[in-house]
Amino acid sequence: MKERQLQIKLPGVPQAKQGREIPPQWEWTEAGVWTERMLATLERGIRGGKWYSLDDKVWKMENLQRAVEKVAAGKSPKKADGRKCRRYAEQSAQRLPQLQRMLQEGRFEPKPAQRVWIPKLGSKEMRPLGVPPVENRVVEMALRNVLEPIFEHTFAENSYGFRPGRGAKDALRRVDGLLKAGKTWVVDADLKGYFR
């Protein structure tokens, strides 16, 4: 049986917080980077519209560790890339301090991506794909953890691609809602060859 703690409110005495208390729309942000105070500033807007001194958040060890976890998550151990990501995660205690120093000193230089060819869906053609080294992805993810919340709240409400808490099914629900509301216009765009 769980015991309940009795909390008594005394006048003039602030209550202890239970973890990070943030609005639900920011639950996806990285706790090791985005403090309650920073998120409150993000909500009300920052003076001058510019954030300063965020680079120390990128190389913060807690952020780098979470970045490694995110990069390795969901990668198949049956594929070479998945094995590389998992190996990096297993060795992160030894590798991250050096990466952190390189970032702090401005010496980190991303390595070139490896070119691989993958089959195009429904075609006999092959499509080129650049696979960046794991360490590049770790730094990119650490940067994303810092920068994404700054830009996320300025994006269009009807934008669903590659956004936290949103996806293709949300876009389909929006289309369904618009159709039910009587909207009937459809725009069809052919982007063949757009990404060449």
**How confident is the model at residue 194, as a pLDDT?**
63
**How confident is the model at residue 112, as a pLDDT?**
95
Q: How many CA atoms lie within 13 A of 104 on its CB side?
A: 11
Q: How many whole angstroms separate alpha carbon 180 and alpha carbon 172? A: 12
Length of the chain equals 196
- Nearest CA among 153, 144, 151 for reference residue 33: 144
Contact indicator for 37, 45 with CB cutoff of 8 Å = no
**pLDDT tens sequence for the chain (196 residues):** 444 444 455 555 555 455 667 888 888 999 989 989 888 888 888 888 788 889 999 999 999 999 999 999 978 777 888 889 999 999 999 999 999 999 999 999 999 999 999 888 888 899 998 999 999 999 999 999 999 999 887 888 888 888 888 888 998 999 899 999 999 887 777 666 666 5
* pTM of structure: 0.77
Burial (CB count <10 Å: 0-12, 13-18, 19+), residue 51: middle
The residues, any chain, with a CB within 8 Å of residue 8's CB and separated by 6 or more, are none
**How confident is the model at residue 13, as a pLDDT?**
52
